[in-house]
Structure 1
Amino acid sequence: MPTVLNILGCRVVIYPNDHRPAHIHVIGNGCEAVFRLNCPHGPPDLRENHGFTRSALSKILAQLAKNLTVLCTQWKAIHEHY
């Protein structure tokens, strides 16, 4: 599972054998959340959360939005299609 970004002490991961639509897993601090990227224009949104606080999710979403182009490019490099 390639880590494509590190934000707020968490790994942002794209699984090579995962399904569409384009999404990422944020893993860290004993928590995991999945965000749809809504490539290529976003905005990313939360699909599921396992343990992150609302405050942490807001901060993660802000960082994902800032890095959307990079994340969509990484998804496309791994999976070819959004």
Structure 2
Amino acid sequence: MNKQIKLFPLLLASMLCAATMQIFAVVIGPISRALSMPEWQSGLMVTMAGFVWLMTSRAWGIKSDRLGRKKILLWAL
């Protein structure tokens, strides 16, 4: 139990980072219109961010299993 309490702030920060990525997808439309960007450019940004997240998640998981979740979360944040 004590180990979980120490890890909670890191997990919370990680969850907030993930939530920020999801909020970005919602606000990119109005931002791109305000900047007079074509819609395909803003869509490409969201797609590329999700693709990079998808392609690197396995590597992060393997490193996390090998080195420990706390070390990886600290390094990633």
Normalization by structure 1: what TM-score? Answer: 0.33
- Structure having the higher helix fraction is 2
Larger Cα-atom Rg: 2
- Structure having the higher strand fraction is 1
Normalization by structure 2: what TM-score? Answer: 0.35
Structure with bigger RCO (C-alpha 8 Å, 6+ apart): 2
